[in-house]
Structure formats: C-alpha cells, structure tokens
Amino acid sequence: MRLHDSSASGYGAALMPSTTLVTGAAGFIGSHLVDRLLEQGERVLAIDNFDPFYPVEIKRENVREHVRSSNYELVAIDIRDRTAMLGIFERFRPRRVVHLAARAGVRPSMSDPFEYVTTNVDGTLNVLEAARRTATEIVVNGSSSSVYGTMPTVPFREDARLDHLISPYAASKAAAEALCQAYVGGLGVAIVSLRFFTVYGPRQRPDLAIRKFHELIRREQTLPIYGDGTSSRDYTFVGDIVTGILSALELRPTKHEIVNLGGSSPVELRELIRTLERVMGQSARLEYLPPQLGDVPSTWADVSRARELLGYAPSTSLLEGLGPTVRWLDAELGATRRATAS
C-alpha cells in the first residue's frame, strides 16, 4: 500500500492497476465495502480526504487493516479538487467507481448549507466528469432516503416526485442524482444511484443515533427523545448495504437506475430503544423534547426494485444487527475510557 496526497503532480512510477475506485473509502460504509472487495481479491483505489467532520483517528482506524494489503492504494484527496480528481482517474483508469464521499447529516446541513452543496454537488460533478473522460464502465452513486423528505405515502418508491425536501442535505443529494441523470442521458455514463436507508453497524459515525444512544445508556446519562418516540426509521445493517452495492457494480444500465436499499421493516424510535436496552442489558433514562428541524416522521423503503434488479434481500433484523454493533461500540467506548484515564 502507498499513501499519496493531492499536492503531488505525479503518484509514483509503479502504480497498481486498480479495478474499483471507492470515494469516501475510509468512512463507515466505504470501509466495509473495501473489506468485502479485498476479500474477493479486487484491487481497490481508495480516495478519502480525512475530513475532520468527526475525529480523523476513527477513519485511520477504519483503514488500518486495508493498508496491509498489496491490492490497496490510498489517495488523500478532496473530491472538490477538480484537477486532482481528473488526474487520479487519468493515472489509475479505474474500471468501476463507487462514489460514497459526501458531507453527511441532516441537522448539520441546516447551519452550514454551503459545505453540503460544494461537497455533495460539486464533488459529485467532478467524479462524474472524470469517469466520463476516462470511460469508466460503471458508477454507483451513494444517495440517501432523505430525498423523500416528508412524503406522506409509504413505503417510498423510486418513481415518487421529490417535492417534499426539508433540508439542504436532502436537496444536495437530490441535485447529485439529477447530475447523474444528465450524465447518463446526455453523456452516456452508466450510473446506478442507491438510496440508503438509515444504515447502522460497527464503525458507525459518532453523530449517528444508535452510537449516541449507546454511549448515553452505558454512561447512565439521560437520553434525549425528540418528539413522542413514534417516529420510525427503516434501519438497514451495513452488511446488507454492501451486498447491494456489490450487486449494483455488476450492472451495465443504459438509463439512470435509482434503487432503494433499506431493511423494508421500519421501527419506531421507542422500539429501537427497547431493543437496544435488551441487547445492552441496561435500561435507558429518557427525556422527551420537542421535535427538531429537519427530522422526518418516518422512512420506509419499497425494495421491490432492488429485489428485481439486484437480487437484493436484506437478511439482518434489527436485533441481529445490534449484536455486533453493540459489541463494537462497547470496545470503542472502553478504549476511549482507557485513553481518558491515562
């Protein structure tokens, strides 16, 4: 493994011919995808800018095992750097691309919408243009269930009109999908956009609900509940998401395919907490607060399109998925406590 950065004009004399390029490869979903690609013997070009949106040490830990592989190349670069991105594509000529790099989070997008647009829209444009210029076979674009917003009809179908957006994050993801449509329709790039529904599992970001809840419960601190606890989410285990991405990489669509990847089994917030208590063997102390801006009442994926196109069948229940998630979270919290004590 070699680590390159975008400040260099060249990237070494003997570069690995990469099969699959993954943006956001050091993140939550990206690192799990890289795990699976390397297990399958794939050569992976990993791109990540190690943004401090959450502690950089977390991402470095995510790639700790990857960097041991001779089939892995890591380039520290920001997808917003148009010249550097094109240079990477022209140098490595990836056959397949999974675009997961993004500024994530609904609530933070309310206070910093410009960062979300430049990363999620401009950055996606740079990926698509570089893929077009280097004749990449397939681009899998990571989108979000947030694009459905407050849509009243459930489950959410891919052919629904996206006219219920309520956050800059959701708008940026919808705009990125529109760019994908333009690059398929007018420029001939093969693209699949996957709308992820509330992904959870080991390596979760610190800002995600299950990780926050876990820490508060373990520390015996009050857990804030925004609303009455009846809001629901279609929680999807990261392993099922990765399986869907890998299936999408095998497609060569002639139109912009948009596909939901969810668990297709929404769970109310209060039920999530009860299940988490059961897995953790510990009770939560709850405090009910008013709903927050940007929150939607429910998400629920219609996965019939994913089943038809990808053979997708999510197999991990919330109870099953929370087992390995809690074990990982316990280990992380224990490491944090040891570091603080020392």
**Catalytic positions, written as ranges:** 169
Residue 183, SS3? Answer: helix
| 106 touches 209 (CB < 8 A) | no
Q: 3-state DSSP: the chain helix, strand, coil percent, rounded to 5?
A: 45, 20, 40
Pairing of strands 232-233, 267-268: antiparallel
Pairing of strands 3-5, 257-261: unpaired
Cβ-Cβ contacts under 8 Å for 3 (sequence gap 6 or more): 67, 74, 75, 76
DSSP 151-216: -SSSSB-TTS------SHHHHHHHHHHHHHHHHHHTT---EEEEEE-SEESTT--TTSHHHHHHHH
